[in-house]
């Protein structure tokens, strides 16, 4: 018995398919490893990136945890009006804005008691730190306490 007849008789086609699958899977895995190798080499050359990664995660968690420490202040109508004016100023800035810049804009715009009112926004959690030195507006808290 020779040729195709012999292959059929000894499960040759099945063995062939299994063999091709194994080789193909191996090559795909190898290509994936090689494609990500540059990241491993970058970490090997600069281990501080690993530390920075975990620090960022830690900071983000602390920022998230900090939201639980916000105070539910009851604002007067006048304070709510100033808060709305602060929010308008924020909307002229970038999503992650500079707090000293916001305070400066509030002062030159003539907002009432800019320091105290900005402090209220921080205490309530309407203005929250992003962990990178800038701040964002928490629209949910704003809607809850001001609108």
Partner 1 sequence: MVLILRGKMNDIKEILNKSKVFGSLDEGSTAILEGLFDKWETHPGDTLTNADDTAHTFFLLGKGTALLAMDEGKSVVLDAPGDFIGMELLSAKGVYKTTLSILEEGHVFTASRQDFLDIIQEDSEMAATIMSAWHEYLDVKAPFARNNEDTGLLQQF
**Chain-centre distance of CA 44, in angstroms?**
25
Q: Name the one range near partner 1 by CB under 8 A: 1-9, 38-46, 74-82, 128-136.
A: 128-136
62 near partner 1, judged by CB under 8 A = yes
Q: Is residue 75 within the footprint of partner 1 (CB under 8 A)?
A: no
Q: Nearer Cβ to partner 1, position 33 or 52?
A: 52
Least distance in angstroms from the C-beta of 122 to partner 1: 6
Q: Least CB distance from residue 38 to partner 1, whole Å?
A: 25
Size of the site for partner 1 (CB under 8 A): 22
- For residues 1 and 9, is the Cβ–Cβ distance under 8 A? yes
Site for partner 1 (CB under 8 A): which residue of 64, 72, 132, 147? 132
Residues that bind partner 1 (CB under 8 A): 55, 58-59, 62, 98-101, 103, 113, 115-116, 118-119, 122-123, 129, 131-135
């Amino acid at each position: 018995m020779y040729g195709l007849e012999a292959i059929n008789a000894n499960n040759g086609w099945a063995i062939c398919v299994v063999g091709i699958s194994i080789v193909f899977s191996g090559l795909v895995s190898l290509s994936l490893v090689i494609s990500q190798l540059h990241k491993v080499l970058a970490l090997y050359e600069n281990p501080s990136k690993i530390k920075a990664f975990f620090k960022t995660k830690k900071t983000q968690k602390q920022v998230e945890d900090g939201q639980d420490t916000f105070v539910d202040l009851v604002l007067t109508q006048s304070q709510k009006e100033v808060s709305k004016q602060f929010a308008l100023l924020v909307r002229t800035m970038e999503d992650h804005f500079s707090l000293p810049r916001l305070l400066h804009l509030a002062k030159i715009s003539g907002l009432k008691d800019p320091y105290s009112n900005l402090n209220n926004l921080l205490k309530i959690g309407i203005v929250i730190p992003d962990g990178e030195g800038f701040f964002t507006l928490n629209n949910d808290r704003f809607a809850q306490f001001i609108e």
